[in-house]
């Protein structure tokens, strides 16, 4: 089990971030799922460059159906 503790953790599956990257960063702990890839950074700039380089993005989960 991996534990991420740096201020800017990145967890992603394919091109999708599991949670968004924010400039505020985090102060807690993150344990990535075994089928996820991950990285962690001390600065937002480094984290943002990583996200951009990998072409990662965050999408809010959507459960809607086509309909009225």
Partner 1 sequence: MEKCFITKLSGTVDNDSLPVYGKMTVSCPKTGSIAHNVYLSFAKGTQIEVVGDGYFTDSSGSSTGKTADYTIIGSITTYYLSDAVTALRMDKYSLVSISPQYTNGYSSMTIDLDDLKYDSNIKSVRGGLKGSINNLKGSMVTLQNTEGTSVTGDLATFLNENPNVTIIDLPSCTGITGTIRAVNSGMTQFNVMNNANVSGDVSVFKDCASLVSWNANNGNFSGDISAFANKTGLKSLSLLNNKNITGDISTLASDTAIQGINVSLTGVTGDITNIVANCTDLKSLYIPTGVTITEEQKTTLTGRGCTVGVDIAV
Q: How far apart are CA 46 and CA 24, in angstroms?
A: 14
Nearest to 18 by CA among 62, 64, 63, 61: 61
Select from 23, 53, 55, 66 the one that contacts partner 1 (CB under 8 A): 66
Q: In the range 14-33, which residues lie near partner 1 by CB under 8 A?
A: 18-20, 22, 24, 26-33
* Residue 18 vs 39, nearer CB to partner 1: 18
Q: How far apart are CA 27 and CA 53, in angstroms?
A: 24
Question: Interface residues with partner 1 (CB under 8 A)?
Answer: 1-2, 11, 18-20, 22, 24, 26-36, 60-61, 63-64, 66-68
């Amino acid at each position: 089990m991996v534990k991420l503790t740096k201020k800017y953790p990145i967890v992603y599956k394919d091109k999708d971030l599991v949670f968004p990257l924010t400039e505020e960063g985090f102060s807690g702990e993150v344990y990535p799922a075994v089928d996820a890839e991950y990285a962690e950074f001390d600065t937002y700039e480094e984290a943002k460059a990583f996200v951009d380089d990998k072409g990662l993005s965050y999408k809010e989960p959507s459960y809607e159906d086509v309909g009225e």
